Structure 1
Amino acid sequence: MALYHFARSVCAALFYPRYRIKVEGKENIPSEGPVIICSNHISNMDPVVVGITNNRDIYFMAKEELFKNKFLGGLLKRVHAFPIKRGMKDRQALRKAMDVLNDNQALGVFPEGTRSKTGELSRGLAGAGFFALRSEATVIPCAIVGSYKSKQPLRVVYGKPVPMADLRERKASSQEVTDVIMEEIQHLLDKKQ
């Protein structure tokens, strides 16, 4: 826990001035209870940026390959990352994510599953919808707008919670729920571009 907060402070001190980060909608993130923050994915630095721009401790899934290096893997685990096998069902990662939510923690998800090479939003994978349906978590859409190379500020916009009651009640599919979440992220991107 201590390493997470130390790393967040150091990263905030480095990232905010370098990328001129501006944050909007932070008040939409509940201060307690389970929450899923669903963001677009434009850079390997996105988890850091999402992590430093809100007050919740966020647990992220990261591709399994990053954990093969013992030092990096150990460090990632200490800052709340856990491995997921891409391209297949990973029951262990799914259980870990549900444990995070059942413990009233925050789970960070990049529904696209991989970085966008064009900056355009791709169709999200069903995982985000799966977690949203099988938990009582508040789902917060997030848009990272801008470029890590540009001289323009990098904006991080947190939207209002995605309405989940009707989707849960009518037993929508995981993919349907992910599609709704992606529409909300796209809406945030469209408003800021």
Structure 2
Amino acid sequence: MMLYRIGKLVCRIVLSLVFFAKIEGKENIPAQGPVIICSNHKSNLDPPLLGSYIRRPLRFMAKEELFSSKWFGPLLVRLRAFPVKRGGSDRGALRKGISVLENGEMLLLFPEGNRSKTGEIKEGLAGAGFFALKSEATVIPAYVRGTYKPFRRVVLRYGPPVPLDDLRNEKASSQEVTDQIMSHIRMLRDEMEGPK
């Protein structure tokens, strides 16, 4: 955890000085219990932005290929990442994610699956809904506005929890739950940038 805390501090300094990072809505994040943060995804800098300014540590998935590096792989593990195979269902990663939430931790997900090259929000994959249904975690939507250009402001807003009780009671599908989550991410976008 010491390396994680140091990493948070370094990232916070860089993001604040270089990108004038502004964080809104931290009060929406529960102080305890399982939480899933679901955000749009524009850049490799999104995970440090989402995790550096909040008190609770985040766990997150990273593509499996990154863990094959002799030095970067162990570093990712110490930064609380775990591997996921892209392009299909990774049962190991799904089990790990559920375990994280069962332990009352926070899990960061990008429901779109990969970065958006245009900045537009794409359709979400069913994985986010799967974790929400299997864990009973509080789901917090987030939206990153900006393009990480030096000395241009990047704004991150955490929204209120996504209401999922009705969908859970109705035994909705994972995709239906993901669609609900994505609609709340788009609502944050519209609040910050205007409707698309």
Please classify the TM superposition score into its range, dividing by the shorter chain length. Answer: over 0.9
Using the TM superposition, give the Cα deviation of residue 53 of structure 1 relative to its aligned residue in structure 2, in angstroms: 2.4
Whether 2:89 is the aligned partner of 1:84: answer: no
Structure 1 unpaired stretches of 5+? none
2:135 is matched with which residue? 135
TM-score after normalising by structure 2: 0.96
Mapped to 2, the partners of 1:184 and 1:66 lie a distance apart of 30
- The one-letter amino acid paired with 1:7 is G
Using the TM superposition, give the Cα deviation of residue 84 of structure 1 relative to its aligned residue in structure 2, in angstroms: 0.1
The answer to whether the 8 Å contact 1:61/1:108 transfers is: yes
1:20 is matched with which residue? 20
CA deviations 1:91-124 (Å, max 9, x no partner) are 1111110010000000000000000000000000
TM-score after normalising by structure 1: 0.98
* 2:71 alignment partner, SS class: helix
2:75 is matched with which residue? 75
1:8 is matched with which residue? 8
Aligned ranges for residues 77-156 of structure 1 at < 5 Å?
A: 77-149=77-149, 151-156=151-156
Using the TM superposition, give the Cα deviation of residue 151 of structure 1 relative to its aligned residue in structure 2, in angstroms: 4.4
Structure 2 unpaired stretches of 5+? none
Mapped to 2, the partners of 1:169 and 1:54 lie a distance apart of 31
Query: Taking structure 1 as reference, are residues 91 and 148 closer, same or farther at Cα in structure 2, changes over 3 Å only?
Result: same
2:65 is matched with which residue? 65
CA deviations 1:4-25 (Å, max 9, x no partner) are 1111111111111111011111
- The one-letter amino acid paired with 2:11 is C
* 1:100 alignment partner, SS class: helix
Q: What is the root-mean-square deviation of aligned Cα atoms in Å?
A: 0.9
Matched pairs, number: 193
* 1:70 alignment partner, SS class: coil
